[in-house]
Each structure stands twice: as structure tokens, then as C-alpha cells.
Amino acid sequence: MTHTNLTFKTDGAGLYQITREVSAYVRHSHPTDVGLLTLFIQHTSASLLIQENADPEVQTDLQNFFHRLVPPSDDPSMSYLTHTYEGPDDMPAHIKASLLPTHLSIPVIDGALALGQWQGIYLFEHRTLPHTRHVVLHLT
Amino acid sequence: MTHTNLTFKTDGAGLYQITREVSAYVRHSHPTDVGLLTLFIQHTSASLLIQENADPEVQTDLQNFFHRLVPPSDDPSMSYLTHTYEGPDDMPAHIKASLLPTHLSIPVIDGALALGQWQGIYLFEHRTLPHTRHVVLHLT
Amino acid sequence: MTHTNLTFKTDGAGLYQITREVSAYVRHSHPTDVGLLTLFIQHTSASLLIQENADPEVQTDLQNFFHRLVPPSDDPSMSYLTHTYEGPDDMPAHIKASLLPTHLSIPVIDGALALGQWQGIYLFEHRTLPHTRHVVLHLT
């Protein structure tokens, strides 16, 4: 078993692909065996997600869907929210982080992540301002 | 550690129970010990889900809920979607696959999956046309 | 590898923090090594969730969001639901349990859960009446 911490800087809400960084860690740590990689994001206002890596429109559409499902807290439809003092993107970020994964587990086969052809790994930032995000990678 | 790949054919959107196939793999691989089974679906338009296995109405209601939460892209409420060239069920399938699990981890105790009495394992297909779906099982 | 079962009594819908009980198990089981803790709830009408542990308003807002996203089945907007004989909170509980995690995997580093500063572990009860909930903890 081994682990590492990866740090990513985000600059606004949206999906940031991290497949390359994660794959590099697996390749350098565990080149030949069967294993299991777990990613864990140490935040409650950003998520991890496996999604289509081919057409960037998918990422835009995903972000827009979640923005409509969970509008900012100054939207009249969200007037019931009470945790608003960190700004209108704060509580919606927590809600999105409940709807989307905090952790991912991906099998490792022949030393590589067993992702499907169209699967990429993303960090999904829900806050508006720049943030530094910490992701723990655990490989067994 | 061991792993396998299971293939399932789907014939339209809905929940397909796969508990029997998954349990058989565990029983044949690891009959007496404590372990952890991870299932990982190698697609971004279908999901895995643990849900009630008793009343089929639960599965119908679940499918209807997600169809209303994420209507086809030719529904007027979804006119903001841009990734539409593969058909009206394409981008909604990606969205549903973000809201529902891509992977499941289930403890194995005394050689069997530690599922609750009413829990079944499902493949949740989000596309309309028939598809072949690949699920990696990793047992540690 | 080791495992245990924790039992929690809930008294109505809402988030119940279980970080202390889970951390105590890890501390007593595995005090110095790198590992991975998996929590698995053996029910389809309650969830596990990692969320902000500082401001209780976050938990209230989360509960209200999910109550509005998935209203009771006697709400006119939910008239399409068919699995209603166990009461108006029954099928919505299954839906919420599909949208929220059934299992969590958290890396263990230096003998402690690698949670972020603001992350707590919650049992999210979706039913109205008191329930006894079983959570399997698996530590590798």
C-alpha cells in the first residue's frame, strides 16, 4: 500500500481534468500488478467525477445542469437557505458536493487504470473564487 | 487480489439486476475470508446502483424520477444543452451517470457480500438503444 | 484486513454525525499504518455522507434541499410514484438513497482518517419514523 497527495489550483467553477496526473502516479508506483486506486478529495465544496473525456461540450453541459439544479443562494428559488454568509456560491457548493462523488475507486490492471475508452477523471470545482484543492491518492 | 470483467447486454433505459452474477464471482473467488469487492463500470452513460430488490415498482419509480429530473435534450427545459448530436438521450445519460455511482464498494464477510436484506446490485442503463456494458470486479 | 458493524438509532429524517464512532474504530484497529476504510450502510432508505462539520446550518440546508428535490409522495408533483404503501416518505427515501452515497472510502494515513479540516462523516436518515441502522466498517 502506498499513498500520495496531489494539489490542484482551480480558477472558478467547472471541471478540471486530472487523468494525466493520476495516471502518472499509478504508473510510477505500481507498474505491473493488479490493484485498486482510491482518490479522496479533502473538501466539501468540490468533487471528483469520472466523465466523458472526448467532447468539451459535455463538461459545459454538466456544469450548466448542476448550476440550474442548485442555483446560487441569492436566486429567489433558494431563499430557504440559511448558510449564506460566505457568499451565494457557498451553500450550493456544499449541495453539489453531496450530489457528486467525494471519492473514486478505480481498479488497476496490468499496472494501468482500468478506465473505459471515454472515461476521464475530473476535479469538479463548485466555488467561484480560486482555490487550492488537495486530493489523497491511495493505492493498494 | 483478483479481478474479472463481466459483460451485460442492455435493451433500453432502466435498472437491470446483476446481484446473482456478482455474488457468483465472489463465491467462486474468495469463499471464506474478509474482503472488499469493488465494481467499476467502464462507461459514462450507464451507472451502478444498490437499491431495493423486493418491489419492482421501486425500480420503475426510480427510473421515472431520473427521467423527470433530467429530461431528454429535445424537451424545452433542456434547450441549454449543446452536446446533442448523438440524440436526445445522450447528454441526459451523461448527467444521470454523474448523479449515480460509477463504482460500488461492498465488504465481503464470511465469503459473501455484506448486503442488507433488501439490497440488490443494479446496472442502471441510461441510453435508449441496446448497449453492451463492461463492469470490472476487483476483489481484495 | 478487519471489519466491524456499528449500529445507530435515528429519530427522524436528518444528518447524524458519526465521525467520532468511526474514528474510534480506526484508532483502535490500525494505529500506525497506511490503510483504507470503507463504510457501507446496509439500507436503501438511508445514506452515508461526508460534509461540512462546522456550521449546523449546512446540515439543515442540505436536508431542506433534498426534501424539495424529492418531496413526499403525497405532494402533487410526485403523483407518478407507485411505491407508496409504506407511507409518503418511503419512495422519496429510496430516491434520496440513490442520489447520496451508500458507501464511503476514506484513506487512513499515520493511523488516522485522512479527512480534510472541515469534513465530518454523517449518516443521512431519509425516513420519518425511528430506525435502527447498520453500517459495516471494513479496514484494509
Q: DSSP string covering B33-82, please?
A: S-EEEEEEE--SSEEEEEEE-S-HHHHHHHHHHHHHHS--TTSGGGTT--
Contact A114 B140 (CB under 8 A): no
| DSSP 8-state assignment for residue A20 | H
The chain-wide mean pLDDT, for chain C, equals 96
| DSSP 8-state assignment for residue B128 | S
Mutate which of B104, B105, B117, B119 to disrupt the C interface (most C C-beta within 10 Å)?
B105
Per residue in C90-112, pLDDT tens? 999 999 999 999 999 999 999 99
**Chain A residues close to B43, C-beta within 8 Å:** 116, 118-119
- Tell me the whole-structure pTM to 2 decimals: 0.98
Residues of chain B with pLDDT under 70: 30-32
8 Å CB contact between B133 and B43: yes
Q: How far apart are alpha carbons B38 and B15 in whole angstroms?
A: 19
- Cα dihedral B111/B114/B120/B126 (nearest 10): -90
Q: Is it the case that residue C1 has pLDDT exceeding 80?
A: yes
Chain C CB within 8 Å of residue A4 CB: no
Q: What is the pLDDT of residue A33?
A: 79
Q: What is the pLDDT of residue B91?
A: 98
Mutate which of C39, C61, C98 to disrupt the A interface (most A C-beta within 10 Å)?
C61
Closest Cα in chain B, distance from residue C54 (Å): 26
Q: How far apart are alpha carbons B103 and B47 in whole angstroms?
A: 8
Closest Cα in chain C, distance from residue A34 (Å): 16
Tens-binned pLDDT, residue by residue, of chain A (140 aa): 899 999 999 999 999 999 999 999 999 996 667 899 999 999 999 999 999 999 999 999 999 999 999 999 999 999 999 999 999 999 999 999 999 999 999 999 999 999 999 999 999 999 999 999 999 999 99
Closest Cα in chain C, distance from residue B20 (Å): 18
8 Å CB contact between A63 and A128: no
Q: For chain A, list the contacting chains (3+ Cβ pairs, <8 Å).
A: B, C
Which residue, A30, A97, A3, B108, is CA-closest to C112?
A: A3
